[in-house]
Amino acid sequence: MQDDKLKKVVALCKRRGFVYPGSDLYGGFANTYSYGPMGVELKRNIKNLFWSLFVDQRDDMVGLDGPILLHPKTWEASGHVAGFNDALIDCKSCKARLRVDHLLEACLHMETEGLSLEELGSLAERKEVVCPKCGKHDWTQPRHFNLMFSTHISKTSQGQDDAVYLRPETAQAIFLDFKNVIDTMRVQVPFGIAQIGKAFRNEITPGNFLFRQIEFEQMEIEYFIHPSTWETNFESWMNEMKRFCHLIGLSEAGLSFFEHPQEKLSHYSKRTVDVMYQFPFGRSELFGLAYRTDFDLKQHEKHSGQKLSYLDPKTNERFVPHVLEPTFGVDRALLAMLCEAYDEETLENGEIRTVLRFNPLMAPIKVAVFPLMKKEQLTDIAQHLYKNLRRRFKTDYDESGAIGKRYRRHDEIGTPLCITVDYQTLEDQTVTVRHRDSMQQSRVHLDELSRYIDQHLHSEL
């Protein structure tokens, strides 16, 4: 049933212009996607909310837009060159390359986190570990593969040593500019730097749509603090992350929080909590909050030879700030929103209505304007109204087909309000406003419309 839901969401995404398979024209390119006209609006709404909440509405936050290609030493300092690996195994029979942890979890129903390559290899020798593609049991030894994509700068020679990496997280760009921000802006610890941008990971994935891609977008914050305050700051960022989940329309029932056990924490972290969401394919990580200590700044001090300490003007104490890192995946947020919003409702006439019940403020289109019929006296008013409204709200205009069909199309993309200009409009300057969720209609005067829409968009927060 749940798997079925994912298939329906994927089909709707293509049918209604949210998400297309990457390089569709050439038969697709695994684990990449294009966001279509509706998807791009939804994505912008997610990013705008993040920026508004965490940068614009706070005194202690600034933004940054760092490069995708950073100095190669960055990734040595951060630990990604040595440790950002997946253990992969090859089927000798059909040549499929798989993540050994996923394979063992599927065949032996066991957790494998923290096991060495040798331990994983001996588990893979069990007869029940068979290839999901060809059904054979004929494996190579597992090997570690680094998840970073590498490329070369053309003006240097083409040797291994000249490799540059596409960033696998946006976070490091923030650490690299910590000193520039301190030196040029009037910031005082505690303060944070936020960034939104692409990250790249050469991942082998079991194909859960947008969940795990090789190119995706992150919204990350590095929040610089005095170490004595990490616990209260951790709690307050966790609350902010919950608020963000609520505002993008995720219900509490679908959310849970996974505390990473001490022995399994990443090398840089003293505490990590994953925000988990109940996706149709299972409960999985949506966002994360990590206390990264002073690991990154100290590592960059060591590798760059530059001081990254901070002098507190009030206490005169000089220290390397510690860091809390709230991290959000744009694509996972969008997938969770689609899964949460997707609904099928059986109407009185037996017809099934598919509707995306987005939080109205997140919907790609806020208002649709329809003339009841394609008659000039109606289309003139409808066009005029559309041009007025689109200055304030993302608005669509549609005059083709039966009105019922136009409603269904907008239900499927989650438009909260549809406005129809009809013959009564000519008499009393009122229009029909039809609500997506209840399908109820009311008549509103043209002079009142903007205020009415505004109220409705904000009422469900």
Question: Which positions touch ligand GAP (CB under 6 A)?
Answer: 169, 171, 201, 203, 212-213, 216, 218, 220, 285, 287-288, 325, 327, 329, 331-332
- CB closer to ligand GAP out of 123 and 214: 214
- CB closer to ligand GAP out of 334 and 369: 334
**What is the DSSP code string of 105-157?**
HHHH----TT--HHHHHHHHTSTT---TTT----B---EEEE---EEE-TTS-
Shortest CB 275 distance to ligand GAP, Å: 8
- CB closer to ligand GAP out of 277 and 386: 277
- CB closer to ligand GAP out of 55 and 289: 289
Helical H runs in 226-279? Answer: 230-247
For residue 436, which of 458, 392, 406, 461 has the smallest C-alpha distance? 406
C-beta separation of 220 from 326 below 8 A: yes
Q: Tokens for 338?
A: 């689609």
Shortest CB 172 distance to ligand GAP, Å: 8
Q: Tokens for 451?
A: 């205020």
C-beta separation of 389 from 449 below 8 A: yes
Helical H runs in 144-229? Answer: 171-176, 178-184
Shortest CB 422 distance to ligand GAP, Å: 45
- CB closer to ligand GAP out of 256 and 377: 256
Residues 455, 365: Cα–Cα separation, whole Å: 16
Q: Tokens for 446?
A: 């043209």
Q: Tokens for 202?
A: 């050469």
Cα-to-chain-centroid distance, residue 427 = 48
For residue 312, which of 429, 245, 226 has the smallest C-alpha distance? 226
| Alpha carbons within 13 A on the beta-carbon side of 181 | 25
Name the residue whose CB lies closest to ligand GAP: 329
Shortest CB 286 distance to ligand GAP, Å: 6
Q: Tokens for 365?
A: 């289109």
Shortest CB 39 distance to ligand GAP, Å: 14
Q: Tokens for 52?
A: 């508004």
- CB closer to ligand GAP out of 150 and 388: 150
Residues 147, 86: Cα–Cα separation, whole Å: 7
Shortest CB 279 distance to ligand GAP, Å: 12
Shortest CB 18 distance to ligand GAP, Å: 16
Q: Tokens for 99?
A: 């993540």
**DSSP assigned state of 321:** P
Shortest CB 188 distance to ligand GAP, Å: 24
Shortest CB 287 distance to ligand GAP, Å: 5
- CB closer to ligand GAP out of 172 and 430: 172
The amino acid occupying position 311 is: L
- CB closer to ligand GAP out of 156 and 256: 256
Shortest CB 434 distance to ligand GAP, Å: 35
C-beta separation of 255 from 239 below 8 A: no
- CB closer to ligand GAP out of 176 and 367: 176
- CB closer to ligand GAP out of 179 and 212: 212
Residues 288, 296: Cα–Cα separation, whole Å: 17
Shortest CB 221 distance to ligand GAP, Å: 10
- CB closer to ligand GAP out of 79 and 393: 79
**What is the DSSP code string of 407-449?**
HHHHHHHT-SEEEEE-HHHHHHSEEEEEETTT--EEEEEGGGH
Residues 12, 6: Cα–Cα separation, whole Å: 10
